[in-house]
Each structure stands twice: as C-alpha cells, then as structure tokens.
Amino acid sequence: MADPPPNPSSVPPNGNLTGTPSAACAANAAGNAAAVAPMAPEKDRLPKEGDEIVTEPGKKYKLGPVLGDGGYGTVFLSQDDDIKIAVKTEKFSKSQLKIEIVVLKAAMQANCKHFCELVDCGTKGKDFDYMMITLLGKDLHKLRCELPGRKFSINTALRIGIQTLKACEELHRIGFVSRDVKPGNFAPGVKSNRQSRTIFMYDFGLARKYIDKNNQVIPTRKEVGWRGTTRYGSLNAHKRLDLGRRDDLESWFYGLVEMTRGTLPWRNVVDRSSVQRAKEASHNTGRTQFLFETPSQYDKIFTIVDSYAFESAPDYKQINKLLVEAREERQLRDREHWDWEDETVSTTITTITSFSDKELRAKADQQSK
C-alpha cells in the first residue's frame, strides 16, 4: 500500500530539512516558527533515514531507521533529547496528518491516557507534513500473529479489551469517531519508556468530528462512501452509512473476538459483500460459531452494541463491567505478565506503575539537571 520511494536526488545533500509548523500545529506551537524553505520545483518528496528535520533553530530531529510505511508516507525512529520517539511523515498533497494532529492535540488537552503525546509537528514546504509522537511497540495485530494459535491468552485479551474500550471512550469524549478501529491501530508503548502495559490508539487518518460546537451529534448524512477496513467494518459501513460511536464499538468488538479466539468466520473472505453476509450471519444464525469459546459476557456485549442507534451515547461502564466480570470469574490477577512481555522482566515491572508521557518527560528533565 506504500507509495514508491521519493527521488533521492531531490533531497538536499546535507539532508537538513527546515520545516514550518502546520496550520493544525501552529495553535499549539506558537513561537515554533522556522525559516520558510525555498519553493521547490517538485513536491511530495518524503525524507529518508539520516535526514534531519529542523522545526526551529536548535530543535533538530535526526531520522533513524524506518519503523513502518503507511499509505501516504513513512514513519521513522528518532530522538527527542533522551526519549526515543516516532516521526510520522506524509506526502504534502496526500497528507491526512492535519486531522491526526487535531485529534492528538484535543487528546492531550483532555489528558487522555491512551493516545500518543504530540511532541512537535509541521510542514516541509510542499514536500511533506510531519509529526513527532510517542514511540509505540508492535501493533496488536502483529503481536497476535506471533503467538501460538494466533491468539492472546484470555488474561491478556480481556485486559486489552478493557484498555482499547477506554481508548474508544476517550476518543468519543473529545468529540471524534475513528471509523477505522482495528487491532492494527492499537499498540502498547515501549518498555524503555515504561509504557509497555498501556495500550495506545493511533492512526486517525479517517477520524471525523461527530458533535458540533454545541456538543450536539451532527445528524447522519445517510449515504457516504466506504470507510475503514473490510474485516472490521461495521454493518453500517458495509451499507455505506454514516458512522458513529456505535460503529467504532462494533469494529472494536470484532477485533476483540479475533484477539480472543484467534480467528473470525470471515477471516479468509476477500469479497466485501461476502464479508458483509458473514457478519450478518454472526448476528443471528452464526452467532454461536462466531462467539465459540469466548467468555459468556461477549454475547451480552454484542447485544448491547447492536442495540445502539447512530446517535446513541454508548454505556462504556456497562461494557467495561462485563469485561471485568469475565476476568473475576477466572480469578485473573492484574499483576500477571502480558503475552508480549518477557516473564523474567515482568516480575520486577509489576511493582512499577506505567509512566504517562508527562511523567516520563518530568523524569527525563530531572535527570538532565
């Protein structure tokens, strides 16, 4: 899905790329002005490993190895003082980073726990947009695929369920729907930042505001185009309907079942309308097969999510309670290690609370004094 790599000859020889705060970033980064780069004859040139992005005099981010490729750009490893971070870049004319930046800013203002910190952001001429964010580990899709049976232990799956539900709730609380909730858009933080037990939601390229200035739900637009990922899309997405909070939760639930069971009935189905039919069946005749060997509470959660209309405000507490109940029934303890953690390390980590980005920065500041 990644676009072809940029023309290497078009990158300045010193690899030093001076950027300006993007419109979305400017409100947060007042005083973060940098020299405007001379107009380039070409556009949409992405940076490469070894380049430096300069967002203000003295503030330089050297781009390390590529962490991943997205639809319109590349994500690099970098460093902000002593803290490892990720730098997401997207081609200027295709960039969806503006909406991502708006979401992350709102999440930071609301002290959301399950979102990356937006460290910096801006635009490099007509070449690319960039944002510097919290570094995350492998996403939940990759982590699941590495496990025997391609599924998480019930202990880890239920904890993931609780945290990813909270992430959806936080996103909705700040006024956005994701429209692309899936395991591949959640990842734990990294061990070196002591965030490997917090699941973060990321990639808000398809996010949309669902409430207006008066906090009223924006009325449904009836027919819209396809949004999201076929495997996890809600039935409304298949019907090309406008998507609301309930659709994020339906997608979240498909992902939860997959992470718990290791499979979905439509796992190998490619054709979108066949996937739709399989999902429809999972709501009635195929329900037992769909929820096979999952906690009994999943059936109740599915009924609850199904009962919501476009405008409904989901009862996250009620769903969370069911997940907690499933844990208690199995006498699962919070202190046990997560499937991706090294067991030898986890015994020492259990006594240490995960750090938030703010705490991490305060700690780094203290150490540098």
* CA pair distance 232, 180, nearest whole angstrom: 8
Q: Is 88 in the site for ligand ATP (CB under 6 A)?
A: yes
* Helix H or strand E segment including 368: helix 357-368
Whichever of 290 and 340 has its CB closer to ligand ATP, that residue is: 340
User: Least distance from C-beta 38 to ligand ATP, angstroms?
Assistant: 28
Ranges within 200-219 binding ligand ATP (CB under 6 A): 202-203, 205
DSSP, collapsed to helix, strand or coil, labels residue 127 as coil
Stretch that binds ligand ATP, among 45-53, 69-77, 215-223, 248-256 (CB under 6 A): 69-77
Q: How far is the CB of 293 from ligand ATP (least distance, A)?
A: 29
Nearer to ligand ATP, 72 or 302 (CB): 72
Neighbours of 15 (CB within 10 A): 15
Does position 64 interact with ligand ATP (CB under 6 A)? The reply is: no
Q: How many helices (H) and strands (E) does the chain have?
A: 12, 12
Taking CB under 6 A as the rule, which mask of x and - marks residues 94-133 in contact with ligand ATP?
Answer: ----------------------x----------------x
Closer Cβ to ligand ATP, 29 or 116, answer by number: 116
Q: Is 300 annotated as a binding residue?
A: no
Residue 189 or 314: the one with the smaller Cβ distance to ligand ATP is: 189
Q: Which tokens belong to 107?
A: 């999440």
CB-CB contact of 310 with 220 (8 Å): yes
- Binding segment toward ligand ATP, per CB under 6 A, in 42-50, 53-61, 64-72, 252-260: 64-72
Separation of alpha carbons 114 and 272, rounded Å: 31
Q: Which two tokens stand for residue 341?
A: 């953690």
Q: Does 4 bind ligand ATP (CB under 6 A)?
A: no
Catalytic residue from among 51, 127, 139, 180: 180
Contact 196/341 with Cβ under 8 angstroms? Answer: yes
Q: What is the DSSP string of 279-345?
A: HHHHHTTTHHHHTTTS-HHHHHHHHHHHH--TT----HHHHHHHHHHHHHHTT--TTSPPTTS-HHH
- The reply to whether 72 sits near ligand ATP by the rule CB under 6 A is yes
Interface with ligand ATP: number of residues (CB under 6 A)? 18
As a whole number of angstroms, the distance between CA 66 and CA 103 comes to 24
Is 271 one of the catalytic residues?
A: no
The candidate with the shortest Cα–Cα distance to 182, out of 244, 248, 134, is: 248
Q: CB nearer to ligand ATP: give 140 or 160.
A: 140
75 is a contact residue toward ligand ATP (CB under 6 A): yes
Q: Which positions are annotated as active-site residues?
A: 180
Where is the binding site for ATP, in residues? Answer: 88
Instruction: Please report, as ranges, the residues that interact with ligand ATP according to CB under 6 A.
Output: 1, 67-68, 70-72, 75, 86, 88, 116, 133-136, 139, 202-203, 205
